[in-house]
Chains A and B, each alone.
Chain A
Amino acid sequence: MGAARIGLNPAQADQPMKLNRRQIFATGSLALLGSMPAGALDRPASAVVLSVRGKVSRSNDGDAVQFDMPMLERLGQRSLTTRTPWYDGPRKFTGPLLRDVLQAAGAQGTTIRAAALNDYKVDIPVADAQRFDVVMARLIDDQPIPVRAKGPLFIIYPFDDRAELRVPQYFSRCAWQLRTLEIL
């Protein structure tokens, strides 16, 4: 949007050094995008566990970004121990932060439609990923999560840290057997 405005401004060619605030902002945004890993991502070397599609600025398989487990593991790992409705007592969940996954894929939408292996679908606001340290768990108690035990990926909110999260709305956003993120 900002870039389009710069292009539409006929005066811009005459005064290339005088940028107004909006133009500086637009330039900054472009610079931010530029600072991310450029161009095509590595293709997954092993079995794909997560596909991110929709409004993504990057890709490594057609219009989608495909992740295998090592790719997710290379993103910053975060461990979170919390109680959940699905397990008795607190469990330790480890995996990349959801927002890091989104950034890695260059996601630009406002809503994430998460789909599970069993076709369960739920919409997660991108804002959740910014406001909370939402973990895309790939380990439970340091062990990989088999499909039989809601794996291999399980979205977990920090329920123990934030009381306001302990409501059905956020429980339902914790997609397990996660397979796909569609950015809307």
Chain B
Amino acid sequence: MAVEDARDPVAAAARTARRQPALWLPLLGATVLALIAAVAWLQWRQSSLMSLAMLSGGDNLVRSLYQADYEYLRLRQVWPQAPGAVATEVDLDALQLRYDIYVSRIGLLRNAARANAIGSRADVRAALREADAFIAAADRVLGSGRRPADRGELLGLQAALLALEAPMRGLTLGAGEVVSESGTRLAAAGRLHNRLGIAATLLLAALAAVFAAFALRQLARERDRSEQLEDLAAALKAARTAAEQASAAKSSFLANMSHEIRTPFMGLQGMLRLLGDTSLDERQARYLRIASASARHLLTLLDDILDASRLEAGQMTIEAVPMDLSTLLSDIEALMRPVAEGKGLRLGIEVHPKLPAHVLADPTRLRQVLFNLMSNAIKFTERGSVRLLVHPLDGAAPAAHESPQPWCFTVADTGIGIDAGTQARLFQRFSQGDDSRSRRFGGTGLGLEISRALARRMGGDITVSSVPGEGSRFTFRVPLALPHDPDTGMAASVGASAAQRPPPRLRVLVAEDNEVNRLVLDAMLSGLGQQAAFAVDGNQAVELAASQDWDIVLMDLHMPELDGLSAARAIRALPERRRAAVPIVALTADVFPETRERCSAAGIVDFLTKPVDPGELAASLARRGTAWADSDWQEQPVAG
């Protein structure tokens, strides 16, 4: 439900995003461009104003006006004022210099007047005209290359020089007006400039406000969106937690169910077996065979479901222990040949000569995968052959070093084949190719899924190639590492090593709370030539173990009052060494590896899974009880 609810905010966010037209973007761009243009124009205008001020600076007009008047006065100072001899050379040089400076000043003033508004003033024009008239007259005496002959020539010009005073003074007075005029003009320009600047600033502020509004809106929208995402994430997390909890609950339920189903199974299979030992007519024997096969099928189903559940929950651990590949292959052949030949099929196992005899792998899981592939091949092949080919990947000869080498176990049959569409669904749960196959051949449909999941957990994979009507090839690829020391710690091949020597008569104590199972075990042990004593719970088992000598104790783990593990610990804690050290073998419907670890920790030496197979029981008795019975303890005096 949480996931359903969470879908809405996402859709809403997507709708919001779609609803936003990009219309404002070009509008905004145009505004920004316009503003930039306006500012650029303002800058240009300011710079031209500045250059105007600069041009009129330097040799500015006002200074020219004052300087002209000033130089006029200095010229008057050195001009001879009384008749007399010709002036000395020095005086004449000074006069000539002041005159030339005055002329240069009038020239500058003329240029300035031409370039300026002041040139249109009548008084300035008149002053320049009179000054020019004086210079024209004076140049006849003081012009370049000329020298005045006597003072008279200079005195003759004195009246004209003095007459210049009023116009020159007028220039100085006019300067003030020029200053105020140009000041007014500049002030007007400055005012305009200021107004434009303020306008630009206002525009800029408005634009900034618009941007801010946009930013705030975006921010709010982002916040909404992130809130929606957070809600979604929380919902997903909750959903995930719920799913994980559901998965854990399912696993735990399966484990419990497995245990609960296995317990009555023990009784069912045991009784069927016992029934088989009685004298039956042909029809009864046939019914019994069918019942036994059904029971076995049911057990396989149970194992498959449990495996699939544990693979899915990631609880399946793959071991890497030293194991004997050739033993495994001969076990497979021994199990499969009768089935294949019973259907009239040829069975062949071809092994590459370089296959190492000993490898590091998980023998149980390797066997499970190969068994599944071989069973399938035989099941879906009506005539012809089923072959198991063991070869290196891509035919490459494996190097003899410790890094894992990829090997292939290819199961090739001449069966009905699988079309491409079916191949795609082949490894999916409860898929058996197609419905017709399923109806025809039966099975859990979990086998291939489990096999491939196991192959992948081992670092390999299973692939299939097939031509409908001609047969199929399933290739199980798996990396195999060489053990560091192939001669030690070899895992015993399950079942095959069961020593078939009948165990000697032992003193057997069985702790089992289930009455049916007590009956089954009693019958089984009798069949093995044993006479067993029974305890109905853990406390009774500890009492019996403390009060009598036993060669072996078979301990059910799930019992009322005191469970098997606690009872085992209590026995190990007995004061008498021999009785405390008696071999204890666990009997349990619990098939989880953790249970085995807990058993080892409690001092349990062997582990039998319900429903117990008589062969396995005999092997365990032989392994544990006999060794114990033969040990030195036998010779020691029994205490108490």
- A interface with B by C-beta (< 8 Å): 47, 85-86, 117-118, 146-150, 168, 171-172, 177
B54 touching A148 by the CB < 8 A rule? Answer: no
B101 touching A177 by the CB < 8 A rule? Answer: yes
B58 touching A148 by the CB < 8 A rule? Answer: no
Q: How far is the CA of A174 from the CA of B443 in the complex (A)?
A: 111
* Chain A, Cβ-Cβ closest to B58: A171
Q: Which 6 A-B pairs have the closest CB atoms?
A: A147-B100, A148-B103, A148-B104, A148-B100, A171-B58, A117-B101
Contact of A117 among B93, B97, B103, B144 (CB under 8 A): B97
CB distance from A159 to the nearest CB of B (A): 13
Contact of B71 among A47, A85, A118, A168 (CB under 8 A): A118
B228, CB-defined interface residue at 8 Å: no
B100 touching A118 by the CB < 8 A rule? Answer: no
B105 touching A168 by the CB < 8 A rule? Answer: no
B67 touching A172 by the CB < 8 A rule? Answer: no
Q: How far is the CA of A75 from the CA of B59 in the complex (A)?
A: 30
- B interface with A by C-beta (< 8 Å): 54-55, 57-59, 67, 70-71, 93, 97, 100-101, 103-105, 107, 144
B104 touching A86 by the CB < 8 A rule? Answer: no
B144 touching A146 by the CB < 8 A rule? Answer: yes
CB distance from B397 to the nearest CB of A (A): 80
With A118-B67, A118-B105, A177-B104 already in contact, the answer to whether A147 and B58 are too (CB < 8 A) is: no
Contacts of A47 in B (CB 8 A): 93
* Selected A-B contacts with CB under 8 Å, 19 pairs: A47-B93, A86-B59, A117-B97, A118-B70, A118-B71, A118-B101, A118-B105, A146-B144, A147-B97, A147-B100, A147-B104, A148-B100, A148-B107, A149-B107, A150-B104, A168-B54, A168-B58, A171-B58, A177-B104
CB distance from B95 to the nearest CB of A (A): 12
Contacts of B104 in A (CB 8 A): 147-150, 177
Contact of B57 among A86, A117, A147, A168 (CB under 8 A): A168
Contact of B100 among A85, A146, A168, A172 (CB under 8 A): A146
Contact residues of A: prevailing secondary structure: loop
Q: How far is the CA of A150 from the CA of B67 in the complex (A)?
A: 14
Q: How far is the CA of A150 from the CA of B107 in the complex (A)?
A: 10
Of B70, B71, B101, B104, chain A has the most CB atoms within 10 Å of the CB of B104
Contacts of B71 in A (CB 8 A): 118
Q: How far is the CA of A168 from the CA of B70 in the complex (A)?
A: 24
Contacts of B67 in A (CB 8 A): 118
A147 touching B101 by the CB < 8 A rule? Answer: yes
* Chain B, Cβ-Cβ closest to A47: B93
* Chain A, Cβ-Cβ closest to B103: A148
A85 touching B105 by the CB < 8 A rule? Answer: no
CB distance from A132 to the nearest CB of B (A): 19
Contacts of A117 in B (CB 8 A): 97, 101
Q: How far is the CA of A60 from the CA of B92 in the complex (A)?
A: 25
Additional 16 contacts, C-beta under 8 A, given A117-B101, A148-B103, A148-B104: A47-B93, A85-B55, A85-B58, A85-B59, A86-B59, A117-B97, A118-B67, A118-B71, A118-B101, A146-B100, A147-B97, A147-B100, A147-B104, A148-B100, A168-B54, A168-B58
* Chain B, Cβ-Cβ closest to A167: B54
CB distance from A151 to the nearest CB of B (A): 9
Q: How far is the CA of A148 from the CA of B103 in the complex (A)?
A: 6
CB distance from B448 to the nearest CB of A (A): 85
Contacts of A148 in B (CB 8 A): 100, 103-104, 107
Q: How far is the CA of A172 from the CA of B107 in the complex (A)?
A: 19
Q: How far is the CA of A150 from the CA of B101 in the complex (A)?
A: 8
Q: How far is the CA of A146 from the CA of B58 in the complex (A)?
A: 21
* Chain B, Cβ-Cβ closest to A147: B100
Q: How far is the CA of A172 from the CA of B54 in the complex (A)?
A: 11
Contacts of B55 in A (CB 8 A): 85
Of A85, A118, A148, A177, chain B has the most CB atoms within 10 Å of the CB of A148
CB distance from B132 to the nearest CB of A (A): 13
Q: How far is the CA of A137 from the CA of B462 in the complex (A)?
A: 100
Q: How far is the CA of A85 from the CA of B93 in the complex (A)?
A: 30
CB distance from A120 to the nearest CB of B (A): 9
Contacts of A146 in B (CB 8 A): 100, 144
Contacts of B144 in A (CB 8 A): 146
Q: How far is the CA of A150 from the CA of B144 in the complex (A)?
A: 15
* Chain A, Cβ-Cβ closest to B96: A147
* Chain A, Cβ-Cβ closest to B54: A168
* Chain B, Cβ-Cβ closest to A171: B58
With A118-B67, A146-B144, A148-B107 already in contact, the answer to whether A172 and B58 are too (CB < 8 A) is: yes
CB distance from B68 to the nearest CB of A (A): 10
Contacts of A150 in B (CB 8 A): 104
Contacts of A85 in B (CB 8 A): 55, 58-59
Q: How far is the CA of A61 from the CA of B266 in the complex (A)?
A: 139
* Chain A, Cβ-Cβ closest to B143: A148
Contacts of A86 in B (CB 8 A): 59
Of A47, A118, A150, chain B has the most CB atoms within 10 Å of the CB of A118
Contacts of B103 in A (CB 8 A): 148
CB distance from A29 to the nearest CB of B (A): 39
Q: How far is the CA of A146 from the CA of B144 in the complex (A)?
A: 9
Contacts of B105 in A (CB 8 A): 118
* Chain B, Cβ-Cβ closest to A179: B97
* Chain B, Cβ-Cβ closest to A176: B104
Q: How far is the CA of A146 from the CA of B59 in the complex (A)?
A: 19
* Chain A, Cβ-Cβ closest to B93: A47
Q: How far is the CA of A118 from the CA of B70 in the complex (A)?
A: 9
Q: How far is the CA of A147 from the CA of B107 in the complex (A)?
A: 11
Q: How far is the CA of A41 from the CA of B101 in the complex (A)?
A: 30
* Chain B, Cβ-Cβ closest to A172: B58
* Chain B, Cβ-Cβ closest to A150: B104
Contacts of A171 in B (CB 8 A): 58
Q: How far is the CA of A10 from the CA of B569 in the complex (A)?
A: 104
* Chain B, Cβ-Cβ closest to A120: B67
Q: How far is the CA of A150 from the CA of B55 in the complex (A)?
A: 18
CB distance from B128 to the nearest CB of A (A): 16
Q: How far is the CA of A146 from the CA of B99 in the complex (A)?
A: 12
Q: How far is the CA of A177 from the CA of B108 in the complex (A)?
A: 13
* Chain A, Cβ-Cβ closest to B57: A168
Q: How far is the CA of A177 from the CA of B54 in the complex (A)?
A: 22
CB distance from A123 to the nearest CB of B (A): 16
